[in-house]
Amino acid sequence: MSSERYRKERTGRKHKNIPELESLRFHILKAETKVLCFFCARKFGILPAISETGGEGGRRVDEREVQRMNARKKYRILVSALLVLSVMLTAGAGMAALKRQIPDHMTVRERGEAPVFFSGLIGNWIETKVEESMESSETSGEKYEILYSLFGRIPLKTASASVAESKTVYVGGAPVGIYLDTKGVYVVDTGMIQTAAGESRCPAKGSVKRGDYIEQVNGKEIATKEELVECISTSGGKEVELGLRRDEQKVFCTVLPVEDDTGTYRAGIWARNNTQGIGTLTYVDEEGHFGALGHGISDIDTGELLEITDGVLYDADVLSVVKGTQGSPGELSGIIHYKEGYRIGVIEENNSNGIYGTISGFPLLAEHLTKYETANRQEVTIGKASILCFAGGTTRAFEIEIEELRMNGKNINKGMVLRVTDPELLELTGGIVQGMSGSPILQNGRIVGAVTHVFVNNPEKGYGIFIEDML
């Protein structure tokens, strides 16, 4: 067959099959249209589910597919919701962290000063605006507000500021003996008495409570536990009326003493009227007023802050150091010289921030102390610092690291988290021990705070109070 004839025959067959191809295409298009219409109608709920295979079996197969699609849709919605919630929580936590970093109140050196608490990129996001003066007087000084905002649009926090001149104090660091008299006879607890009849009884139970201060017995003023014991023991078994101070309220109650197995009348009251211990002197101002400990003195049994009438600050000698270990805080062990010649000063106040009073013969003591400028809380930074404390037979500076600042903590005695880094102090004491409370914290040539507590499970770490809160 010639090539020309072959081409003609082939061409002829091709043109001959065109109607068949067009017919096939038509049927395919028709089928596709039906399928498309079916799915559109099914999507909008116009038609019931119909399977290719037809019948109930096909319907069930299609329904399962729809269920799977719905499940996937719900899963995507859930994931999206969780993602949005996570972003919102993260943003909220970030905002809360920024707020905590800004003090509610601060003391500044100059009018209109707006301290910065953030650096780097975050610092660029925070804008400050100083409001007009709130108050101005000779006693309180000038006050104003500082508005901190994110990008200048999202309010972050409003802080108050007081203008005050820089203060200088003489810094301590030496151990001192502390003696306090309570305001009345302090009730530690009540307990059972073994009576002469062989019974166990507690006459004071239900009438006297832990933390009470007994001020009167049968209308007579008392100040010591010895006076209380004498009044009870000489009662002859008759009722005695006790005048108590409870939560700043005057309370009266009666107690019927019982005779114990030694023939002595007792009421089952465990009490004390004084306490003593060793701490560290923090500072002395230029008028001779001192601050020490950085926390108040509480009863060892009840944990309640003691209300005092007065007290005395004595010279103390540290004889040895019990090193702190994990789970067991160490202590400075020594003796307090309870003699007039060793008297350093008088204690006038015991509050949550420390003990306060007046130094005796202040000018003489000042000759042995160094003067430092005090730092405001916003001037304290995370990083290297030092503490003045007694170790190795002398009072000197040892290196520490300030790891955390809590500008608005509920417990102001724990405004800083400290870690001892000085190898020598770690070798001598194991870190922070009992008796170091009040040790001055120095940073950048200023006193910034005082040591207050030790971590029981890690004696290398402890807490500190801002000096601003002690003054």
Q: Which of 212, 235, 295, 453 is catalytic?
A: 295
Q: Give the span between the Cα atoms of 415 and 461, in whole angstroms.
A: 13
Q: Which residues contact 201 (CB under 8 A, 6 or more apart)?
A: 192, 193, 195, 258, 268
The radius of gyration of the chain from alpha carbons, rounded to an integer in Å, stands at 40
Residue 317 has phi, psi (to 5 degrees) of -115, 125
The DSSP bridge pattern shows strands 416-420 and 458-466 to be antiparallel
Q: Give the span between the Cα atoms of 395 and 5, in whole angstroms.
A: 121
Residue 104 has phi, psi (to 5 degrees) of -65, -40
Tokens of 217: 């017995």
Of 129, 169, 178, the C-alpha closest to 151 is: 129
Q: Would you call 284 helix, strand, or coil by DSSP?
A: strand
Q: Which residues contact 79 (CB under 8 A, 6 or more apart)?
A: none
Does residue 289 carry a catalytic annotation? Answer: no
Write down the residue that tokens 């002395």 correspond to. 284
Q: Which residues contact 373 (CB under 8 A, 6 or more apart)?
A: 166, 167, 168, 445, 446, 447
The per-residue DSSP string of 357-418 comes to EEETTHHHHHTTSEEEEE--GGG--SEEEEEEEEETTEEEEEEEEEEEE-TT-S-GGGSEEE
Distance of CA 99 to the CA centre of its chain: 15
Q: Would you call 230 helix, strand, or coil by DSSP?
A: helix
Does residue 422 carry a catalytic annotation? Answer: yes
Element (H, E) at 363: helix 362-366
Does residue 295 carry a catalytic annotation? Answer: yes
Q: Which residues contact 38 (CB under 8 A, 6 or more apart)?
A: 47, 50
Q: Which of 235, 437, 439, 453 is catalytic?
A: 437
Q: Give the span between the Cα atoms of 283 and 270, in whole angstroms.
A: 36
Q: Give the span between the Cα atoms of 349 and 422, in whole angstroms.
A: 34
Q: Give the span between the Cα atoms of 64 and 58, in whole angstroms.
A: 10
Write down the residue that tokens 């508005």 correspond to. 147
CA dihedral (326, 329, 333, 336) in degrees, to 10, reads: 170
Please check whether residue 287 is in contact with residue 366, taking contact to mean a CB–CB distance below 8 angstroms: no
Q: Which of 212, 422, 439, 453 is catalytic?
A: 422
Catalytic residues: 295, 422, 437
